[in-house]
Chain A
Amino acid sequence: MRNVVLARVDDRLIHGEVVSVWTPTLSANAILVVDDDVAKDDFNKRVIKSLAPEGVKVFVSSVEGAIKGLLKDPISGERVIVLAKSPITFARIVDAGVPLKEVNLGGMGLRGDRKTFIKNVAASPVEVEAIREMRDKGVHVFYQLVPEQAVIEVDEALGRAGKE
């Protein structure tokens, strides 16, 4: 697998927290945005690429394309942040055999059938299942907005969501 330093669910994709805080903290030099819709939208793609912090390459890829690249051998010196809008995307990536160790839940806004999951992270029933599925496969799924804040494990929230 390529050297993934952070796999993060954030429906804002590239924004302040990722650019100003996570990227320098992790010394990341590549950001891979995985989203089928954005990959097809040239304007959106252009906006996202223009947000690239100095010295960081930004890639936008479909889920399928992302998996292909992630499964390749690490490239010397590369440090990748992978961003997706939903945990379902990461569940697909893990399903395809990409051995992600951790998935960080950063920002998931309340919309559609999403309900509050942990703090400002909301998840739909399908997303809760995707989180559960990844955790059952041994992926460490956790909530953390910025590196300075403490990690919150998803277990309790999964228990709550299961009882409903």
Chain B
Amino acid sequence: MKIILVSHGRFSQGLKDGVQMLLGPQEDIEAFILSAEEPPTELGARLAAALSPEDEGNSVFFTDLYFGSPFNQVVELSRTHDIYHVTGVNLPALLEAVVVRNSGQSCEEVVAAAMAASEGSIKDVRKLLAEQVNEDMGEEEEWR
């Protein structure tokens, strides 16, 4: 199964780097960058060219921004290609998706894993630490 990352600027390449830093070298992850100079339709043409017949029904796209140009191009691609598409990708979601993909599960399961991992993955850390102080003042759980 192919995982294809598409973003405004180099974010997709950075996500790929991050995944490989954590999980080691990965096969079948491609990063596509939309630069400020490139017309979005050209990105769309590059994406279409990257899909081979065996990728039909067997590729998951991750785009960075709901209703952004990469998102729109991938939606356009889905008119003529059988693809899975998740938008608003972040590293926690992608990591989980790659792990599930590598364990040999289906595209549906990869998408579900990414969605589940993204939930609650953005945190207000100042608030989190303050909450932890309150918890500590309550009943602190000790290792016994």
Which A residues are closer than 8 A to B by beta carbons? 16-17, 20-21, 25, 32, 42, 46-47, 49-50, 54, 57, 59-61, 65-66, 68-69, 72, 145-146, 148-149
Q: How far is the CA of A49 from the CA of B92 in the complex (A)?
A: 19
Beta-carbon contact of A148 and B132 below 8 Å: no
Contacting residue for A21 out of B23, B128, B133, CB 8 A: B23
Known A50-B129, A146-B22; contact A21-B99, beta-carbon cutoff 8 A? yes
Asked whether A20 lies within 8 Å of B102 as measured between CB atoms, the reply is no
Q: Which residues of B contact A68 (CB under 8 A)?
A: 144
Selected contact of A47 from candidates B99, B129, B131, B141, CB within 8 Å: B129
Closest to B98 in A: A148
Q: In the bound complex, do residue A49 and residue B132 qualify as a contact, i.e. CB atoms below 8 Å apart? A: yes
Residue-wise interface mask of B (115-144) relative to A, using a CB-CB cutoff of 8 A (1 in contact, 0 not): 001001000010011011101100001111
Taken together as a complex, chains A and B put the C-alpha atoms of A16 and B135 apart, in Å, by 23
Whether A20 and B143, one on each chain, are in contact in the complex, defined by CB atoms closer than 8 angstroms, is: no
Q: Are the CB atoms of A16 and B129 closer together than 8 Å?
A: no
Nearest chain B CB to A37 CB, angstrom units: 16
Count of A-B contacts judged by CB separation below 8 Å: 53
**Cα separation A49 to B133 with both chains bound (whole Å):** 10
Complex CA distance for A50 and B131, rounded to whole angstroms = 9
Interface pair A20/B22, CB less than 8 Å apart: yes
**Is there contact, CB below 8 Å, between B23 and A69?**
no
Partner of A59, one of B132, B136, B141: B141
Contact residues in B for A57 (Cβ distance below 8 Å): 141
B129-A146 in contact (CB<8A): no
A52 to B129, CA, bound (A): 12
The 5 closest A-B pairs by CB, nearest first: A59-B143, A61-B143, A50-B132, A46-B132, A50-B128
Q: Is B95 an interface residue (CB 8 A)?
A: yes
A residues near B102, Cβ cutoff 8 Å = 148
CB-CB under 8 A for A46 and B136, given A54-B120, A59-B142, A61-B143: yes
Residues of B9-29 at the interface with A, using a CB-CB cut-off of 8 Å, are: 22-24
In the bound complex, CA of A21 to CA of B103 (Å): 12
Q: Does A17 contact B132, Cβ atoms closer than 8 Å?
A: no
